[in-house]
Amino acid sequence: MTSELAHARTNEGLRDVVDQLHDWWFDLDDFHWDAGSQQAWLMLYPTAPAVRAKLASRRRLLIRNVSAVVIDDEARIGHYDLNTLTSRGDTLVLESGFPLRVSCQLTGPLDVLVFEED
């Protein structure tokens, strides 16, 4: 079962999203963007990969209205924590505590959701 934990349509609403995901971990290879549906999504876990297999808890970040994605991965380590999520004009930027920035170009209004996944 999936349950919605946060839904941001404003910059202020992004705080709720970050509160649900700050310091959660993800694999950059699991970042997906579908140009047809203009959606990007990412699965996050409360711990680093070495412990992950023992945990059932995971959350999905869904970003709507995405027309393009630019990934600047200076660290090249594959596994990252989510540090910030900010909206700058028509770009939503996800940043890790490591040198990683994922920029999502938006074609419509800000629409970001977090779901708890079973």
User: CA 106 from chain center: how many Å?
Assistant: 14
Query: Using the 8-state DSSP alphabet, how is residue 107 labeled?
Result: S
Query: Using the 8-state DSSP alphabet, how is residue 28 labeled?
Result: G
pLDDT of 57 = 82
* pLDDT per residue as tens digits for the range 74-97: 999 999 999 999 999 999 999 999
pLDDT of 49 = 64
Residues 3-17, mean pLDDT to the nearest whole number: 95
* pLDDT per residue as tens digits for the range 24-62: 999 999 999 999 999 999 999 987 665 555 566 889 999
pLDDT of 2 = 84
Sheet strands (E) in 50-90: 58-64, 66-73, 79-88
